[in-house]
Structure 1
Amino acid sequence: MNIDIKKAETCFADLLKKTVAGSDITITQEGMPVIRLVAVRKKPAKKRQFGSAKGLIRMADDFDQTPDDFKEYM
């Protein structure tokens, strides 16, 4: 939906309601688009599930060993 900026000033609350309902609104000035109103869509959060990352993380066998080139900093 396109609407002139002067008319948008008088019915801004209605434009917001339409935007929240799903309409994309373009506000124009002298026929050129200057503002676009688009509702922010929230993704439903996925429920965290215990153990869902199992097998994705691996710890190296030598994790606890200090690298030779790092020993001088200890």
Structure 2
Amino acid sequence: MEAARQYNVHEAKTNFSKILEAVATGEEVIISKAGEPVAKVIPLAGKVRRTDYGSLAGRIRIADDFDDLPDGFAEAFEVDA
């Protein structure tokens, strides 16, 4: 595997868009400060799948020993309790 590109802080600020493009294609980028690596920018493992309201209905179980919600809690979040 090819060595990760390395940028100092100033270069990283100047080339931020270029760094993001490289990472989006699977490359890893190292950011250094005073010559010492301090951060690694890596691609996300996968995209986060967004869910719609109610998409987890029937998939979540509340434990039998779960305490009742305090008075006013559900109303504060506009939730039917």
TM-score by length of 1: 0.54
Q: Give the match for residue 38 of structure 2.
A: 34
Q: Deviating runs (4+, > 3 A) in structure 1?
A: none
Q: Give the match for residue 22 of structure 2.
A: 18
Report the residue type matching 1:34 in the other structure. V
**Offset, 1:42:** 1.6
Alignment of 1:1-74 (within 5 A): 1-42=5-46
Report the residue type matching 1:2 in the other structure. Q
Larger Rg: 1
**SS class of match (2:46):** coil
**Offset, 1:16:** 0.4
**Offset, 1:34:** 1.0
**Offset, 1:41:** 1.7
**Offset, 1:35:** 1.3
- Distance across 2 between alignment mates of 1:40 and 1:10: 22
Report the residue type matching 2:18 in the other structure. D
The one-character-per-residue Cα deviations of 1:50-73 (angstroms, maximum 9, x if unpaired) are xxxxxxxxxxxxxxxxxxxxxxxx
The one-character-per-residue Cα deviations of 1:2-43 (angstroms, maximum 9, x if unpaired) are 111111101101100100101100000111011110011228
- 5+ residue gaps, structure 2, are 48-81
Over aligned residue pairs, what C-alpha RMSD do you find?
Answer: 1.3
- 5+ residue gaps, structure 1, are 44-74
